[in-house]
Structure 1
Amino acid sequence: MKKIKYTALFLLFISFMSCDNDTLEDLRERGQEESIELEAFTQGSADFSKYVSMGNSLTAGFADGALYKIAQENSMPAILAQQFAALGNGGTFTQPLMNDNVGGLLAGGTQIQGFGPRLVLDLSGPRPAPVPLQSLVPSAVPTTDIVLNNPTGPFNNLGVPGAKSFHLLAPGYGNIGALPNANPYFVRMTGTSPDASVIELAIAQQPSFVSLWIGNNDVLGYALSGGDGTNPITPLAGDIGVGFEATYQALIGSLTTNISGVQGILGNIPNVTAIPHFTTVPHNPVPLDAATAGAVNQAYMEYNGGLQLALANSLITAEEANARTINFEASSSNAVVIVDEDLTDLSGLGLPNFRQATEEDLLVLPASSFIGTLADPQNPLSVNGVAIPLSDKWVLTPEEQNEIKTATMAFNNVIETAAAASGFALFDANTLLDRVASTGVETNGLVITSTLATGGAFSLDGVHPTSRGYALVANEMLKAIDATYGSNFEASGNLVDVSTFSTTYSASLLE
């Protein structure tokens, strides 16, 4: 069987609204006669003179599976700082920039495992597809070394890719001597204070205005691992450093207690299951001819017969027996077979927890290059996703999705309560992503959607925004700041033009 790959690439359609009573010429003339008079800019009660941002990869500017220089320069806080400096008496904004646009980290000249170069778009095939940079440019190598060439702070952007809520309070999280438990990205920021926490480095700068967007990884890690338990959701309850609620309250308390009159904006957590990492690979990507389908069905005959025995003995319902029965057809769209731990345990009958996926299941993006490969290269029948069911790490079942939804709602309630209590603005990332994923967001003559590679919002890793996506986020933050502090970035026409920001960067961009 040929290796099955799937990359969703869709065309973008722009719709135009018509008016019953006006001709096109009427509208043109009206547009020439009427102009919108913008307000003069005011920053209201906000003090942008010293801005510090805290968070995870979404704050750092991570994109395309890596952190690299041009993406950092177009990160959400960098865009905010640009507007603050141009209009609101904002100061300088220093970021821990990578050395190159390759991405990836070295330690003493050796690439750190799991910290490789960025993804790029390969246009040479029948369909554009995300591929590792080095597959197109073999000579591209990382040059950022956490032992040999860390930049000098203090840094206004304290976004640490991979950080969960409790990591921002953790001493030693950026101590190179604590590797592998320390975070290599944060090692680059701590300088002469290797045991300082993220929150301590922020407080030391005594900012007038802060942004805090943290908590995404507290649920995303579980989702990216397919809910297999290797990266559990942070519990809501528990002590500081353990439970999300106490930890988040401690973060806000540290800022408001130790920085007199500090202002800021908090970001809540989006519905991570709506990102392209979980919506691109279909549940039914398996093409089979009649002969192959018959052979696979023969292999599952004993399993299906065992289900009927379990039904006869009232161990499962007829509904579950039907859901677990495996059947392939001569078709281009057979559903993959998965392991579902929430099915009734029939191990007493020697039956595993197998079923075919449905539209309710979400397959992770890396499954696109795994489904259809051979578990045993010497056995042409050992096809992953067909004869060999996909393990838990490849799919989010409805039960696992519900766990994520429940945790996200609870965490967002904590964040919203903290924003109200502290007087900080609130950026509703959850609502924004729902709009991007469901209808798209129209701005600056564009419709931005969550479709992988072509939608404009998400980079090639299917998780992190593009530079254009980060610009969209920055604008929404500016609107929220307007609402809380009386500034008027929006009404004065001083949101950024999202259309001027890139969605992809060429593989030739290395320096």
Structure 2
Amino acid sequence: MKHIKYLLLFAILIGFTACSDDDSNTNDDVALPELTAGSVDFSSYVALGASFSAGFTDSALFEASQINSFPNILSQQFAKIGGGDFTQPLMNDNIGGIALGGTQLPGSTLEPRLVFGGSAPVPLSTVIGPITSTTDLAINNLKGPFNNMGVPGAKSFHLLFDGYGNIANLVSKTANPYFIRMASSATATMLGDAMAKNPTFFTLSEIGGNDVLGYALSGGDDTDAITPNAGAVGVGFDATFNYLISTLTSGGAKGVITNVPNITDLPHFTTVPYNPVQLDATTAAQLNASFATYNEGLQNVLDGINAGVIPSQAAPNFNQDEVNKRKINFSAGNNAVLILDESLSDLTGINSRLTNMRQATSDDLLILSASTFIGTLAVPGNAQTVNGVAVPLADKWVLTPNEQATIKEATDAYNATIESVANANTNVALVDLNSILKQLASTGIPFDDYTMNAKLVTGGAISLDGIHLTARGYAFMANKFLEAIDAAFGSNFIASGNVAKAGDYPTNYSPLLQ
């Protein structure tokens, strides 16, 4: 069978921008009011958060992306009205990724950035040749604290862990390379370093996002569990988030927080179709013949249970609907991939060949990297072992409806905590990232002369990794923070025109930027 490649064809893009021909909505003839700070002291602004705060984009952190981080964009506006210096732990290059002693650290978020390869996102190395990051933990670490305390990959409880920046903990995977290079000491915490800057204003962004993202990126296979909402400080999200806010506001600082987007709306989970397998009639017939015994076995088990030959307790929830759901059937044209689904009744104790597999439906979400795996051979050289066709995709490649519900349940619980904190504290304003992402994924959002949406590559808002924002997306996010500050604390950034402009920020970075 022909190897199935990326599955997605993208149009040739000019500048990778999603734009409209509408006239500019600015009016240079209207006199704007003078900028005022309202009740906020911006002299010491600290941004505490994870990937979004850091400026992570295209599956990497690099100098240009940090310069275009939303906290740095905000600091440029704050500088007009008393804001102090805003320091960031800048990476050593625009390659992205982190090395240790000249050896590239493994992991998709620690390797050089993605670029557009003409039809799909590809690693930078495929365009410019082999590369190793020059940001090296062994030779060019920085020493914090910094004003931008955004650490890619940080979960809520990581902000309080005093070993998160200790290089000795790399072996046990309890340290974060990005925090190692910026922590003030090996025993520093993210929150502690943030508080060392004596913040008068803060942003706390996307806390809770990584607490569910790891589970989602692993297809809900439980190798990266969701943080429980209940539990003690440093364990459960609710107590941890409340502690973070009480600490950040303890000196009278005002701040803006965000809720957690429903991450399954991101293109990392919505781009790969559930039915990318294209077959001719002959191949479909051959596959159906190979699965005939499997389909008959499902029906035989149910008939045996109904006849009392097989004890009903062996598969108490197994019924005709599940039989129909699990039967494999291919036809000429596009076909759904074959997946494993742990929510199905376990029949292997009755018949060891009846594994928990079925064909995907439109309710299933395939993660972005599945696009390069579907169609490969489970056994090299054996054309009868095509992944996703003859061999089911493992749990890590797919989010089933049950797994999506688990993510939503946790996200809703986190957001309830975040909203209650914002409602209870007059020094805290809220930016609704969840609603923003939903709008991006549905109708799109106008930003100056552009209309951004959540499509991979072409949408303008989401970067090439399908999760993090583009520079233009971060600029839009910065403006939403400014709106929240105006509404809660009486400033007038929006009315005075002191905002980020879409045209000043790109939606992609050239492979030549190194």
Alignment TM class, shorter chain as reference = over 0.9
CA distance in 2, matches of 1:452, 1:282: 13
Which residue does 1:451 correspond to in 2?
455
Determine whether 1:472 maps to 2:476.
yes
Question: How far does residue 348 in structure 1 lie from its aligned partner after superposition?
Answer: 2.7
Mean CA deviation greater in 389-398 or 493-502? 493-502
* Residues 425, 34 of structure 1: alpha-carbon distance in 2 compared, 3 angstrom cutoff: closer
CA distance in 1, matches of 2:131, 2:505: 24
CA RMSD of aligned residues (A): 2.0
- Correspondence 1:170-209 to 2 at 5 A: 170-180=161-171, 181-191=174-184, 193-209=185-201
Which residue does 1:23 correspond to in 2?
none
Stretches of structure 1 that go unaligned for 5 or more consecutive residues are: 18-26
Amino acid at match of 1:250: Y
Which residue does 1:309 correspond to in 2?
300
CA distance in 1, matches of 2:481, 2:439: 16
Question: How far does residue 183 in structure 1 lie from its aligned partner after superposition?
Answer: 0.6
Which residue does 1:493 correspond to in 2?
497
Which residue does 2:3 correspond to in 1?
3
Question: How far does residue 422 in structure 1 lie from its aligned partner after superposition?
Answer: 2.6
Which residue does 1:20 correspond to in 2?
none
Question: How far does residue 36 in structure 1 lie from its aligned partner after superposition?
Answer: 4.2
Mean CA deviation greater in 261-270 or 416-425? 416-425
- Which TM-score applies when normalising by structure 1? 0.92
Secondary structure of 1:471 counterpart: helix
1:56·1:162 contact (CA, 8 Å) conserved in 2?
Answer: yes
How many residue pairs were aligned? 490
* Residues 71, 32 of structure 1: alpha-carbon distance in 2 compared, 3 angstrom cutoff: closer
CA distance in 2, matches of 1:405, 1:33: 42
Amino acid at match of 1:349: I
Stretches of structure 2 that go unaligned for 5 or more consecutive residues are: 307-314
- Correspondence 1:237-316 to 2 at 5 A: 237-257=230-250, 260-312=251-303, 313-314=305-306, 316=318
2:230·2:238 contact (CA, 8 Å) conserved in 1?
Answer: yes
2:21·2:449 contact (CA, 8 Å) conserved in 1?
Answer: no
2:166·2:175 contact (CA, 8 Å) conserved in 1?
Answer: yes
Matching residue within 473, 479, 486 for 1:482: 486
* Residues 267, 32 of structure 1: alpha-carbon distance in 2 compared, 3 angstrom cutoff: closer
Measured against aligned partners, the alpha-carbon deviations of 1:158-216 in whole angstroms (never above 9, x if no partner) come to 1111100000001011011222321110011114x210100000111101001111110
Measured against aligned partners, the alpha-carbon deviations of 1:427-474 in whole angstroms (never above 9, x if no partner) come to 110011001111100111111001101100111111110111111111
Secondary structure of 1:311 counterpart: helix
Which residue does 1:70 correspond to in 2?
64
* Residues 13, 101 of structure 1: alpha-carbon distance in 2 compared, 3 angstrom cutoff: closer
CA distance in 1, matches of 2:448, 2:461: 14
* Residues 171, 508 of structure 1: alpha-carbon distance in 2 compared, 3 angstrom cutoff: same
- Correspondence 1:97-496 to 2 at 5 A: 97-114=90-107, 115-123=110-118, 128-180=119-171, 181-191=174-184, 193-213=185-205, 214-257=207-250, 260-312=251-303, 313-314=305-306, 316-331=318-333, 333-350=334-351, 351-423=354-426, 424-496=428-500
Secondary structure of 1:54 counterpart: strand
Which residue does 1:22 correspond to in 2?
none
Question: How far does residue 32 in structure 1 lie from its aligned partner after superposition?
Answer: 12
Question: How far does residue 507 in structure 1 lie from its aligned partner after superposition?
Answer: 0.6
Amino acid at match of 1:48: F
Measured against aligned partners, the alpha-carbon deviations of 1:296-334 in whole angstroms (never above 9, x if no partner) come to 111111111112123323453222221111100111x10
1:55·1:163 contact (CA, 8 Å) conserved in 2?
Answer: yes
CA distance in 2, matches of 1:90, 1:273: 37
Give me the identity figure in percent. Answer: 54
Question: How far does residue 8 in structure 1 lie from its aligned partner after superposition?
Answer: 5.5
Measured against aligned partners, the alpha-carbon deviations of 1:356-394 in whole angstroms (never above 9, x if no partner) come to 000000000000000000000121110000000001000
- Which TM-score applies when normalising by structure 2? 0.92
1:306·1:349 contact (CA, 8 Å) conserved in 2?
Answer: no
CA distance in 1, matches of 2:26, 2:320: 68
* Residues 487, 400 of structure 1: alpha-carbon distance in 2 compared, 3 angstrom cutoff: same
CA distance in 2, matches of 1:7, 1:490: 39
Q: Which runs of 4+ in 1 moved over 4 A?
A: 10-17, 31-37
Question: How far does residue 15 in structure 1 lie from its aligned partner after superposition?
Answer: 7.0
Determine whether 1:48 maps to 2:48.
no
CA distance in 2, matches of 1:410, 1:388: 37
* Residues 131, 15 of structure 1: alpha-carbon distance in 2 compared, 3 angstrom cutoff: closer
CA distance in 2, matches of 1:237, 1:447: 39
CA distance in 1, matches of 2:227, 2:391: 32
CA distance in 1, matches of 2:320, 2:9: 35
Amino acid at match of 2:181: R
